[in-house]
Structure 1
Amino acid sequence: MEWFTAPEYWTSRLVLQRALAAVYVVAFLGAALQFRPLIGERGMLPVPRFVERVPFRRAPGVFHLHYSDRFFAGWAWTGCAVSAALVAGLDGLLPLWGAMLLWLVPWVMYLSIVNVGQTWYGFGWESLLLETGFLVVFLGNDEVAPPVVTLFLLRWVLFRVEFGAGLIKMRGDECWRRLTCLDHHYETQPMPGPLSWFFHRLPKPVHRVEVAANHLTQLVVPVLLFTPQPVATAAAALMILTQGWLIVSGNFSWLNWITIVLAFSALRLPGAAPDTPAAPIWYEALVLTVAALLLALGLRPVRNMISSRQVMNRSFDPLHLVNTYGAFGSISRVRYEVVVEGTSDGVPREDSDWLAYEFRGKPGDPRRWPRQFAPYHLRLDWMMWFAALSPAYAGTWFTVLVERLLENDRDTLRLLRRSPFPRDAPPRYIRARLFRYRYTTWHELRTTGACWDRTYVRDFLPPTRLDSPDRRS
């Protein structure tokens, strides 16, 4: 079938595949470096306890068959190695069927991790990586030109990411309709970046233009992905430009990066495609069968997207083949942060020498400027932002976090930027307090050197020790 392939997207496919493989590397690296204190055998939400109560059919993956910390570490580092090989182009050296199997490996491996990751892996970009990664299995290698069907399925994912996010904004917080949400967003977003302070201080008319441009990019431009060239390329380029703006203004893990990856499915890049034979019949049949299956499964996310009760960031099947996306349907007007402190005093008092733990990404010391971490995902820092919104988000993991800090647990401390206590002298008591944070003004920044100003709100956790009967979060 001559219509089946699109040789003019040869370069675009190459960039898309290498970029996606790089995202896989970052994802597996984060899993390898953070799993022990989060979901390990002594983690805050241990995998062995999870697989005891959740059946395989609801969360399929290898860890239902066997789990140990050593096995998980080997699994995650192997995922890094396979993904790095894909970045280097190993799939281009294999026959078509071998390349497809190679691309299937990181998808299967990361699916196993996400399906036991619980709260720590409940973010929309986890499902987005899996949905995109599954489609790229059928994108082919150097033996065949890119299949049109797969390219359009990738565009369809991008459409749902952007259009779904646009709809949930218009249906959600009125500040999106009044063009005022960015008066608050840069200050209250989960993890500010090094330039977020400056974005927040842009004039309010600029913020209005930003919001209007966001609505245009998410509600109008996605439709143009399915139009003829060069309009589709222009639409994809505009989406990439918008995602670049989000990358420099905040830290959203690999959400923006994988959205850029998806945009290359519509972006026609220059470069001559080599002569390739026609796609094998078995390959055409497989791609068309998978496409039909995914389109059938995709009815549920479509119904959700057009529903007045639209939900965001939810998977509709345990394999994460089709999902719904969206973010910031509502915007916080005030930023709260949970500050965790410890003391070595035998009797905790208000005037005790309380020393604060510093996290890597989330605000703490008002004088410490935010840093850029994305596309790397600091999972504990993100959940601390949710915990500050409501103690209900802390659940059981926050209690275990406090216990591990009281033990000076080595793996838990590695999640932090700094512990104020020596390894051989853990604190006697831990407490947590809720503060309101706001960006300083230009004058305050010049005078104090601090980018944040904070005000005490209330206690989040009273002074707690290991043998205390009252360990609430």
Structure 2
Amino acid sequence: MDALGWLAGTDYTIAREILQRGVAALYVVAFLSAVAQFPALLGEHGLLPAPRYLRNAYARRQPTLFRLRYSDRLLRAVAWTGAALSALVVVGVLQLTPSYVFVPAFLIVWFLYLSIVNIGQTFYGFGWESLICEAGFTVAFLGAWDTSPPITVVILVRWLVFRLEFGAGMIKMRGDRSWRDLTALYYHHETQPMPNPLSRTAHLLPKWWHRVEVLGNHFAQLVVPWLLFLPQPVASIAAAVIILTQLWLVATGNFAWLNWITIVLAFAGVSDGAWRWLTGGAPTGGIGSPDVPVWYAAVALLASALLVALSWWPLRNLFRRRQLMNASFNRWHLVNAYGAFGSVTKERFEVVVEGTEDDPHDPAARWLEYGFKGKPGEVRMLPRQFAPYHLRLDWLMWFLALGSRDSPWFEVFLLRLLEADRPTLRLLRLDPFAGRPPRSVRARMYLYRFATREEKRGTGARWVRSEVGMLVPPVGLRG
């Protein structure tokens, strides 16, 4: 047992609680999101039906419970099961079981969500989907209370944070010039995919502050991640810097669970000793066994060796000239490459979808706008806070406005509006026809910008928009 003493991360018992419960809480959000949105987006009658996707050879090679059969009922059963198991971790019930129960249970959560991601197509093509999969697999091996958290797994969680932050920093420096000349934040708060209630306030801050923001971002993503691997208290300080910068991103935008899970994972750098210092010397830590049983040491070291072996490809990617962003190197979404906003959009375009019950060719036809839950639409409406919940349709609408070519779902979306399809309408904030099918729908493109303080006082509008052109001319069911 003494020979294995080095493996016991006895100074990271509080970190283990935060890591496992925090990641599990975000799994609850992710599974509930699937219950609410997957059938309408990807179900049997969805915009990109999963059964049709599963008929191609590539899909059948993916690890998923739905490989042989998909149904909306089975999807809901998988999602509710995953949410229930995750909730047991959040409240600490599963931690009371032996690690030979806890670890497989957490890995079941991971595989259930992986099964959903691997048939989610465009609607699940986000870096934070791979991130939550990798995080779930890794923190599972921190074990239950019958073992001390293995230090190798704690370090591998830090390695995940390093790739997440340093990868994002490098993709920015290699990408848009605005990150290098410190002007990126002149635009970002206004043009980010889904603004929140404070985004306009952040955008209207002085330009010198935006330059400070960019410098702070470079420091937090290019310098601080290296400090996570230094002895305490340096690692705890580095983790605190990452957490604080992520909280600023939480306060000024809606990025699903990306910032939230980064905050959770950064606690892998915070020692129990740091918590004792924060609480003025009050007794903290020591949650669970101080030892790592021999049998569990073998399990933890085997898992650690697997993750180290898989690290070669993302490590090489970090220093490649043509760095990949948000890439998975295996079908299991383990040890991925991450990054965000390698290019900054300078102008904000929005697709506005409208319908009419009148003759669409009549110049006097009354067109009514469909309201989305998260994306900007009506100019007076205050953007809402949704993160860590992920509004997948709204995010895809942002990519559509940028000219995404991977948008076959949009035609089907317009068809569902013409049919007044209830599951589809539930994805929206406002159906102007109260469940009735419109005669025709169309999609217009607008240029949006935040209203200045003077414009807001004069008109009450938070956005100023001007029409750019017609994306989809009026179409009806016969068209």
2:388 to 375, 380, 388: 375
Contact 1:314/1:325 (8 A) holds in 2:
yes
Counterpart of 2:30 (choices 27, 31, 35) is 27
Q: Find out whether 1:440 has 2:443 as its counterpart.
A: no
Deviations 1:385-439 (A, max 9, x none): 0000005142x1000000000000000000000010032x310101000000000
Distance in 2 separating the partners of 1:420 and 1:402? 14
Alignment of 1:407-422 (within 5 A): 407-422=419-434
Moved more, 187-196 or 263-272: 263-272
| Aligned residue in 2 for 1:450 | 461
Greater shift after overlay, 229-238 or 301-310? 301-310
Query: Alpha-carbon deviation of 1:18?
Result: 1.0
For the 8 Å contact 2:48–2:409, the answer to whether it is kept is yes
Shift of 1:214: 0.3
Displacement of 1:272 in angstroms is 3.2
Does residue 343 of structure 1 match 2:356?
A: yes
Q: Following TM superposition, by how much is the alpha carbon of 1:350 offset from its aligned partner in structure 2, in angstroms?
A: 4.2
Measured against aligned partners, the alpha-carbon deviations of 1:261-286 in whole angstroms (never above 9, x if no partner) come to: 11111112331305726322221112
Further displaced range: 162-171 or 13-22: 13-22
Q: 1:386 aligns with which of 399, 417, 430?
A: 399
Instruction: Find the aligned partners of 2:196 and 2:338 in 1 and give their Cα distance.
Output: 23
Is the 8 Å Cα contact of residues 165 and 222 (structure 2) preserved in structure 1?
yes
Matches within 5 A, 1:111-190: 111-190=114-193
Residues 347 and 125 from structure 1, CA distance in 2 versus in 1: closer, same or farther, beyond 3 angstroms? closer
Q: Give the equivalent residue in structure 1 for 2:281.
A: none
Q: After superposition, where does 1:307-322 map in structure 2 within 5 Å? A: 307-322=320-335
Distance 1:316 1:337, change over 3 A: same
Greater mean deviation of Cα atoms: 272-281 or 197-206: 272-281
Q: How far off is 1:58 after superposition?
A: 3.3
SS at match of 1:34: helix
Query: Are 2:470 and 1:467 aligned?
Result: no
| Matching residue of 2:280 | none
Of stretches 71-80 and 111-120 in structure 1, the one that deviates more from structure 2 is 71-80
Q: Name the stretch that deviates more: 445-454 or 66-75.
A: 66-75
Residues 1:399 and 2:399 aligned together? no
Q: How does 1:67-82 map to 2 (within 5 A)?
A: 67-82=70-85
Q: Does residue 219 in structure 1 map to residue 230 in structure 2?
A: no
> How far apart are the structure 2 equivalents of 1:23 and 1:297?
24
Query: In the alignment, which residue of structure 1 is the partner of 2:367?
Result: 354
* Cα displacement (A) at 1:56: 5.7
Q: 1:103 touches 1:137 (CA, 8 Å); kept in 2? A: yes
Change (3 A) 1:288 1:350: farther
Partners of 1:275 and 1:142 in 2: how far apart?
4
| Residues 198-257 of structure 1: per-residue CA shift (max 9 Å, x gap) | 000000000000100100000000000000000000000010000000000000000001
Greater displacement, 262-271 / 372-381: 262-271
Cα displacement (A) at 1:55: 4.3
State the 4+ residue runs in structure 1 displaced beyond 6 angstroms.
none
Assess if the C-alpha contact under 8 Å between 1:29 and 1:76 holds in 2.
Answer: yes
3-state SS of paired residue (1:30): helix
Residue 414 of structure 2 aligns to which amino acid in structure 1?
Answer: V
Residues 386, 393 of structure 1: 8 Å contact kept = no
Change (3 A) 1:275 1:23: closer
- Asked if structure 2 preserves the Cα contact closer than 8 Å seen for 1:16 and 1:261, the reply is yes
1:93 is the counterpart of 2:105? no
Partner Cα distance (1:273, 1:102) in 2: 24
Q: Answer yes or no: is the 8 Å Cα contact 1:37–1:44 preserved in 2.
A: yes
**Using the alignment, how far apart are the partners of 1:197 and 1:125 within structure 2?**
25
Q: Which residue of 2 aligns with 1:38?
A: 41
2:20–2:140: 8 Å Cα contact kept in structure 1? Answer: no
Residues 283-292 or 443-452, more deviating: 283-292
User: What's the offset of the Cα at 1:119?
Assistant: 0.3
Which residue matches 2:298? 285
* 1:63 aligned to which of 58, 66, 85: 66
Partner of 1:471: none
Residues 354-373 of structure 1: per-residue CA shift (max 9 Å, x gap): 00000000000001110000
Give the deviation of 1:162 after TM superposition: 0.2
Structure 2: distance between partners of 1:51 and 1:369:
40
- Partner amino acid, structure 1, of 2:366: D
Instruction: Work out the number of aligned pairs and report it.
Output: 466
The one-letter code of the counterpart of 2:452 is: T
Describe the SS at the equivalent of 1:63: coil
CA distance in 2, matches of 1:329, 1:246: 16
Q: In the TM superposition, what whole-angstrom CA distance separates every residue of 1:41-76 from its partner, at most 9, and x where no partner exists?
A: 000111100110034663111011221111111111
Root-mean-square deviation (CA, aligned residues, Å) is 1.2
Q: Give the TM-score taking structure 1 as reference length.
A: 0.97
One-letter code aligned to 1:456: E
2:324 aligned with 1:334, yes or no? no
Question: Aligned equivalents of 2:19 and 2:310: distance in 1?
Answer: 24
Structure 1: how far apart are the matches of 2:288 and 2:97?
17
Q: Which ranges of structure 1 fall in alignment gaps of 5 or more residues? A: 469-473
Percent of matched pairs sharing the same residue = 55
- Distance in 1 between residues matched to 2:361 and 2:38, nearest whole Å: 32
Structure 2 CA distance for aligned equivalents of residues 415 and 275 of structure 1 = 44
| Aligned partners of 1:166 and 1:215 also within 8 Å | yes
Q: Between 276-285 and 323-332, report the one with greater CA deviation.
A: 276-285
Work out whether 1:208 is the aligned partner of 2:211.
yes
TM-score, scaled relative to structure 2: 0.96
Give the 3 Å change call, closer, same or farther, for CA 7–391 of structure 1 in structure 2: closer
